[in-house]
Amino acid sequence: MGTIVLNWLIRIGTLSWLTGPIFDKELRVSSRRRRSYMLRFTYIAFFTLLAAFVWEEAVPHGSSSLFQASRMAQAGQIIVTFVVWFQFIASQVIAIVMLSTSISDEIYSKTLGLLMTTPVGSLQIVLGKLLSKLLQLLLLLAITLPLLAIVRVFGGVPWPFLVCGLSITVTTAIFLGALSLFLSIFTRRAHTVIIVTILVAGALFLLVPLLAILLFHERLSERVILRTVSYVNPYLMMSQVTESVLMSRGAGGTHWPMHCSVALGSSALLLLLATFFVRKVALRQATGQEIFSPNGKWFKRRRRAAAGARIRRVVGPCVFWKERRMPLWGKLNVATCVGEIIALGLLLLTYILIFVEGGLSEEGVQIGYVVVFVSMGILLTMVLPATCITSEKESRAWPILLTTPVSNWDILWGKFLGAARRCLVAWLLLGMHTVVFVLLGILHPMAIVQLGILVAWLVFFLCGTGLYFSTRCRRTTMAVIANVTLAGCLWAIIPLLLGLTLAVARADGDVLEFYLDMNPFVHAVVIAAATASRGDLGNYDWVQGGIRDLGSATFWILFTAGVYVGASLLFLWRAWARLRRHPV
């Protein structure tokens, strides 16, 4: 009797009754993976190197002890603030990507119905999947705590800021992970889940606060609006907390626990909905019904019409013909159409509200729209090409394609053209915005040409890198992570480390300025600022300076495009060389 009670207490205390055996299995598997330890080592080594660079810059070697003591607090603030913000953003990306196939993999491999025949319940499946995928993320956050604790000793950073930053990071990652898990129930394509999750997060965390400010700025003060929105917006909350620390006003008050409670409550609601739909889908699969196939009379009529139609002959390269037959944006359904209409309606509302305020012709507004649309285009272009080959590997169609007489170049070129064709849809908002405001006389017509060059080399480069990682990786999730990581390193981490290195070495910053001027976001800002002069053409203010006229700026844009196109060709060549390696 005592043993039974003890086992029952242990089971209650370890929460195994809630997470189930899936989480326990993941704990055992992850502890045996070599890449888990390599990831942790790389993660902590990066932050240690960053702390060393910042320390050497803020507290130079050889200076007086009094000067070093006065600069310790500033160095501690810089290091802790960067680490907290980096973890805050990186954890969201990792959570979204890792949970994008958490349920769809079980559905597609037809094991979800089998799981439901075991004592494992739907709630245990959902929580086990969520916690097992977030396990590595939580470990990465935990191993940085000793570093942050050591840096905090220098002063300038209160403990409540570390607790607050970690709490907001964890709750935001849980919410976005729960959202990604919920969406993975309804589609088996990882890139669709990733894109939809990020777009929903962008609408919640960017579009809604903007609309709130535009609608209520005359009735309420901006401070009251931002404070109210921050209860549901983690970016505003983290910004307020960071500002409070930098201004030496503590850790931003006590209203951040309310924000974390709202995030956890929203996550719990999403998980309950996911539990309901997982049970429903599992029962359908157990009874032999199709999950991802559309239902309804309209689709049945389409199937009957397709069955009686004539056979379509392959015209031109077969791989590209097959890619052209695929829909640009997946299968449309009622939920997708309603979501797109709502998103476009909210976007149109921002135009209307800014027009009422008379701000559409302002340079800052145009720069904001261009940067947002370029960011959305880069996001979709990073994800879509990385799924071209891995999706066929996961469906086991890739070995069949390799046994055909189709050459490597025909396969690669057809996949490249198909990926570029789908990626161009991601840039429609930027194209429509530019054309409309050129016709209205707010943007100069040169914006169409220069932004077109920017979009062309971004699509070419990211399609090349995406196909390369798609040939190297077996899983779509890993290919997407690799492509996103490469872009993040090129356009965010390398400039940061290069700037810190030059600052520590007291070297000239020409190399950094040259590298920054090849950044696509710098291109977008400079082009938008130069062409948003009420139809006139202003100066091009590059980081390195000296390129202010139209001819020099266009030459620099073309030069940057040539560099990235050359790099993309190198990635495509490596993809061609690896095309038939490890086909399964």
How does pLDDT run across 356-366, given as a tens digit for each residue?
Answer: 877 788 888 88
467, 385 contact by CB (below 8 A): yes
User: What's the angle, vertex CA 202, arms to CA 494 and CA 523, rounded to 5?
Assistant: 40
Q: Could you tell me the pLDDT band of residue 214, with boundaries at 50, 70 and 90?
A: confident
User: What spatial distance separates the first Cα and last Cα of the chain, rounded to whole Å?
Assistant: 52
Angle (deg, nearest 10), helices 256-286 and 234-246: 150
Q: Which has more pLDDT, 486 or 316?
A: 486
Residue entry with tokens 């029962």:
283
The residue behind tokens 């046994």 is: 403
pLDDT at 63: 62
pLDDT, the chain, mean: 79
Q: Which two tokens stand for residue 406?
A: 């189709």
The helix (run of H) or strand (run of E) holding residue 256 is helix 256-286
Banded pLDDT at 130 (limits 50, 70, 90):
confident
**Residue 330: helix, strand or coil by DSSP?**
strand
Range with lowest mean pLDDT among 77-81, 258-262, 284-288 = 284-288
Element (H, E) at 230: none
**9-31, pLDDT tens digit by residue?**
555 555 555 666 777 777 777 66
- Confidence at residue 116, expressed as pLDDT on a 0 to 100 scale: 72
What residue segments make up the domains of the chain, in order of their start? Answer: 9-286, 319-577
Residue 497 to residue 502: CA distance in whole angstroms: 9
267-318 pLDDT tens trace: 999 989 888 888 888 777 766 665 555 443 433 444 444 455 566 777 777 7
> 498-546 pLDDT, tens per residue?
877 777 666 677 788 888 889 999 999 999 988 887 656 778 888 887 7
* Secondary structure of residue 579 in the 3-state scheme: coil
| Digit-coded pLDDT (tens) for 99-122 | 887 887 777 777 777 777 777 777
Q: How confident is the model at residue 228 (pLDDT cuts 50, 70, 90)?
A: confident
Closest CA to 76 of 164, 168, 162, 169: 162
- Alpha-carbon torsion (184, 422, 565, 519), positive or negative: negative
Q: What is the pLDDT of residue 274?
A: 87
β-bridge mates for residue 533, sequence order: 536
The residue among 80 and 174 whose pLDDT is bigger is 174
Q: Is the dihedral of CA 267, 271, 272, 273 positive or negative?
A: positive
**Average pLDDT of 52-76?**
68
Tell me the C-alpha distance between 290 and 285, whole Å: 7
Pairwise pLDDT comparison (306 vs 243), residue with the higher score: 243
Do 465 and 486 touch, CB atoms closer than 8 A?
Answer: yes
User: Which positions ≥6 away from 103 have C-beta within 8 Å?
Assistant: 112, 126, 129, 181, 184, 185, 274, 278, 281
pLDDT at 294: 44
Is the overall model pTM greater than 0.85, yes or no?
no
Between CA 290 and CA 132 the distance in angstroms is 27
Helices (H), 99-207: 104-108, 112-115, 122-143, 145-152, 159-183, 190-202
**What gap in Å lies between CA 406 and CA 579, rounded to an integer?**
12
Please check whether residue 181 is in contact with residue 103, taking contact to mean a CB–CB distance below 8 angstroms: yes
Contact 515, 492 (CB under 8 A): no
Q: What is the pLDDT of residue 398?
A: 84
Q: With 70 as the cut, is the pLDDT of residue 167 above it?
A: yes
